[in-house]
Structure 1
């Protein structure tokens, strides 16, 4: 029987087990988007996961929505991420940088040049955004022109190229959680009447073209994509065609030969099984609100090839060792999830190995 301890090859990378670190925004980058001084330590501490997927990283200045999130589109960004990649590789783990263009999930106070957000259509999310001055309503975005769309696809490809130049093993396209790629998929965020909107095939086009451009730039074996079928985040409503859209989208993405598909799974078990049937390479499942007692079940059942975990990894840099030994987990400190320094970032305690071979 295949278990989470069975080795696996993802793309061209051999992993000793099937547990991965899910992407988590931490808002600790420098003001120019260069990874913060503790980022290399943070990721290296968690290198036992084998496959580390980084926090969302903007592929251009237009892609930023939150304060102090990192970028991967300047020379300084490349130099910063190289320190992270080197630290992770020293621990013999793989690093995939998640490329996140937020689209309308933004506020001018957080954006370089105080610019207006862009999105498939000029429709606000109806939600608030954290800024350094507190929570503020997100304003209506500007609808993207054909040129905007083409430039944004090119930005993703350029960011992927820079990520590999920084030493990353690959990138994950963020097509989930209400951000730009997801906005193109959703009927209530995409009201376009051109080739990028309307039918589910047209609404899927942006995700497919971004994936194609990225895989052409760095190779499909270095390219993953994250999707969140049915997720209502960021004011998203995919409409009654949601399941049909993902069945179509996954089938089309599978043709590109990408390294993996990473699903945020919200409980639609029928759709998960259908996606499993349509996807021919590594499928990583991240169950929202996943509990410790479920670790390993999706791999053992065949629904997933790998499982990813977020806050449990955030609070437990030695997550894999704790799973192996049955040791208790640290509790995450939600007050330190975003922003700040070492507290709640690089200071979570590891297991202490006692002389008798026990752990505490």
Structure 2
């Protein structure tokens, strides 16, 4: 059996704090197993083990990556089974819809050996306090970076031709929706395009779009209308009854970076730094917002000002990233303590129990 794998982010370290889109990502599922009682270093490994086992029995798997620890997972979704297995450790908590019915909590503390964890008691409290402090410092720095980015955008907004930008949007609308609507209600699913992580910005754009028939790479500058166009395309998709995947910006959740229309097998995305890509297939196309909607010579006219803004922005992003690295180092110590105090046989038994239940119900 060939299994199609997707990799996404459902939560992020943003300029507006830690923000999740779990309600949207997990919508429509029948059961969500919530792994509680320990730390992400324990839950991620269990999620990966169970995910690989279940992947052998289904055609679709969606890995949800952690924005805190590169290479770890916040969860896994099996669309065909309508099941998800999720890390429910701090701060990954969201509003339940049916505890015990839809959300099934699995307490992994039963796999802990108390005598082995007890020596870490004071350290654990201190680690959590420092991790929280570093995360908040990162969010503050990202917030300052976003305000600097607003100054960057303002230059191009003041030199934007609204009519030209609207014309581009109308052209894309015609390409996507000119053949009529579908007789159903649209399903809108929201995720993050990528995430700010301890290793810097990470995304999975190319993997998410590689199998699609058509990709549009939007080029431009901050403030050249990229996100506005994507928002209008989402509105149009909803009006036309088409399912749409909406990918929010990892820095500013209020901004959009990519839209995928699965039924059209098409993606359109902001292809500028820090997620800059270039066409690699014959069917790929570029939409250049700067060339078509910005006053010619804007880059040159404001070059000194833009350079200063870019420098300030880059410095602030690096500062924020450094705080994430500090938090990651403490998370690794926290995870190591819990790993040392975990009975691996019991942990595997919990995983097998979940898999057995899923096998009976599917």
Shorter-chain TM range is under 0.3
Greater radius of gyration (CA): 2
Greater per-residue helix proportion:
2
TM-score (norm 1): 0.25
With a CA cutoff of 8 Å and minimum separation of 6, indicate the structure with the bigger relative contact order.
2
TM-score (norm 2): 0.25
Greater per-residue strand proportion:
2
